[in-house]
Structure 1
Amino acid sequence: MIRTVIVVLFISIFLICSIPIWGILFIIGLFNKKAKDVIGYKCVAWAFGVVAFLAGVKYEVHGIENVPKDKSVLFIGNHLSYFDIVLAYHLSPHVTGFLSKDDLKKVPLLNVWMMMNYCLFLTRTDPRQDLKLILKAQDYIKAGISMFIFPEGTRSKTGEMAPFHEASLKIATKTGCPIVPVCFTNTREILEAHMPKIKKTKVVVTFLPAIDPNALEGENKKRPGAYVQGIMAKQLEADAKLI
């Protein structure tokens, strides 16, 4: 339990001590919005890096060079753990917003950082509202902000991927932005497999080559989620051998 206590303590201290940074970022944003976005994102990315370190996560990263550096992308990840978000935030090379469940919107201080970093909160109970958020995510992509989604809709309780929700892929198909699949292996063993204990764990994170949604044809074009999931399933099988 000691790791859990240390991680929770650090997150609490960071959230409280970072409050003055909001004012600084607001002032920076008045003169240079891009600088404000980059600094704000790096603050949280740094904090999540510390969280991973304190949790004893030893992560092996592959394919980070596959992420286009000159354009916004839609990251697609399989979802095993809260630590998928921690690692994704820490490793994503440029400003990235996340589509998250609306429960996190209720977490004080954290919700401010999330909104500041272009996160959107899905209800999963109001299709009309969630569609508006998908459209908002498309606007962010067009404005140069990458987005990260977990198309399964929730964390896997078995380690197996659930079918991807095809609607979430519209962020890419409607904007034409590249899709970058991100495979998380063994992250469930950090926390979810034995809650509330956090345990030292080796994980693998693989960024696969970007997929051009405009180049898909036939059934792959009709169901891009299933196509991307098939590619990720093969990579996850290979990465499992590295643990």
Structure 2
Amino acid sequence: MFRFILIVITVVGFLILSIPILIAEWILGKFNPRARDISSLRIVQGVFRFILLLTGLKLTVIGEENVPKDQPVLYIPNHNSFFDILITYSRCPRLTGYVAKKSMEKIPLLSNWMKLLYCLFLDRDDIKAGLKTILKGIDQIKSGISMCIFPEGTRNKSGEKLLPFKEGSMKMAEKTGCPIIPVTLNNTANIFENQFPKIRPVHVVLEYGAPIDLKSLSKEERKHVGAYTRDIILATFEKNEALV
């Protein structure tokens, strides 16, 4: 419980104290947008790493060399915990926008940082609005910004290893030709969700799969690229269960 209280204080404290930082980042962006982007990225990554340090997390990372550093990609992770975002975002080598649920746009200050870092808010109940969000993600990838979307559509609380992947999650890669990076996380729900409200130090395994080049897939595989990617992540998840 002590770790939980420390993390809540850290998050709330950062959001409140970051108001002048947000103003400074806004001013910097008027003169040097690229410097603003990198500055904002590193600030948030630093906060995320500190929060993960407070959890006592032991993290094993496999395959990080599979992530290209010279081009934007589409990250496709499985999703079991709030901490999936902190773990993966803290390791992004370049500017990356995450696709989040629409309700997060209403959270003061947090949504300001998310928008600053090119995160998008997806309304899954509004097909037309959802399409606009995906089109915006496509534009961002074309401009050099990586994107990350959780293809299960929500945190997996079913007890199953993976929920079905939504094929629409892959559109940003299909329309831009960027590589898909399968991201597999093992044991993240045991940090917090499985013993709410306690936070426990656990061993998490994060593995980046080889980039998926859609042009190299067969016609059938491209037609069901969500299922294809899910099979890769499921196999990796099962392989890494023995490591945690």
Q: CA–CA distance in 2 between the matches of 1:173 and 1:143?
A: 16
Q: CA–CA distance in 2 between the matches of 1:44 and 1:189?
A: 24
User: 1:17 is matched by which residue type in structure 2?
Assistant: L
Q: CA–CA distance in 2 between the matches of 1:236 and 1:160?
A: 8
Q: Number of aligned pairs? A: 243
Q: Deviations over 1:101-140 (max 9, x none)?
A: 1121122211100011011111111011001000000000
Structure 2 stretches lacking a partner, 5+ long? none
- Report what 2:228 is aligned to: 227
- Report what 2:31 is aligned to: 31
CA contact (8 A) 1:173 1:214 kept: no
Partner of 2:176, secondary structure, is coil
How far off is 1:22 after superposition?
Answer: 1.3
- Report what 2:196 is aligned to: 195
Q: CA–CA distance in 2 between the matches of 1:209 and 1:41?
A: 24
- Report what 1:62 is aligned to: 62
How far off is 1:206 after superposition?
Answer: 0.6
- Report what 1:216 is aligned to: 217
Q: CA–CA distance in 2 between the matches of 1:219 and 1:237?
A: 25
How far off is 1:86 after superposition?
Answer: 0.8
Structure 1 stretches lacking a partner, 5+ long? none
Partner of 1:91, secondary structure, is coil
How far off is 1:25 after superposition?
Answer: 1.3
Q: Does 1:118 align with 2:118?
A: yes
- Report what 2:206 is aligned to: 205
Task: Kindly report which structure 2 residues correspond to 1:131-210, keeping only aligned pairs within 5 A, or say none.
Answer: 131-157=131-157, 158-210=159-211
Q: CA–CA distance in 2 between the matches of 1:205 and 1:176?
A: 25
CA contact (8 A) 1:152 1:163 kept: yes
- Report what 1:85 is aligned to: 85
Flag as ranges the 4+ runs of structure 1 deviating above 6 A: none
User: 2:239 is matched by which residue type in structure 1?
Assistant: A
Partner of 1:155, secondary structure, is coil
Q: CA–CA distance in 2 between the matches of 1:201 and 1:106?
A: 31
How far off is 1:159 after superposition?
Answer: 4.8
User: 1:211 is matched by which residue type in structure 2?
Assistant: I
